Amino acid sequence: MTKNTSEKDGLTLLVDSITKGILDKKGEEVVSLDLGKKNSTVCDYFIICHGNSRTHATSIAESIEEEVKKDCGVNPARREGYVNGEWLLLDYLDVVVHVFQEPVRRHFQLEELWADVPAEKLTEVE
């Protein structure tokens, strides 16, 4: 099933807003995994990054929420992990964002779990 142009534009805007929110708070090793090319996945993209502390990871997630709300007018359908700040998850349905503390990211290695999908390092918003 292919997406029409307006859906692609909306998805691109969402990914760009998420990326901007991450980079504004100096999130590290930002990676986008294109799950849309796999059959039977629950979303089109995973965006993964990490911070260096609980405070840093939480501020990255909050920045993402603010940026997406401002640019796209939506809140995440689900948000998890704010209590302990080790692995925060923001579910925007088509895009799921994972914000880790670095040791937790290294432990779970989501990029390795999805090594068979296209990955792109995100360093700036176009």
pLDDT of residue 49: 98
Radius of gyration of the chain (CA): 14
pLDDT of residue 36: 85
Please, which residues have CB within 8 angstroms of residue 52's CB and are 6 or more apart in sequence?
28, 101, 102
Please, which residues have CB within 8 angstroms of residue 71's CB and are 6 or more apart in sequence?
13, 16, 17, 20
Which CATH number fits the domain that encloses residue 53? 3.30.460.10
Phi, then psi, of 28 in degrees rounded to 5: -110, 150
Residue 107 belongs to a domain: yes
Residue 3 has pLDDT above 70, yes or no: no
Residue 2 belongs to a domain: no
pLDDT of residue 110: 92
Count of domains forming the chain: 1
Residue 25 belongs to a domain: yes
CA distance 104 to 123: 22
Using one digit for the tens of pLDDT, what is the confidence trace for 40-91?
A: 678 999 999 999 999 999 999 999 999 999 999 999 999 999 999 999 999 9
Using one digit for the tens of pLDDT, what is the confidence trace for 98-122?
A: 999 999 999 999 999 988 888 999 8
Residue 36 belongs to a domain: yes
Which residues form the domain of 45?
7-121
pLDDT of residue 38: 77
Residue 124 has pLDDT above 60, yes or no: yes
Burial of 126 (0-12, 13-18, 19+ CB in 10 A): exposed
pLDDT of residue 4: 43
Neighbours of 63 (CB within 10 A): 20
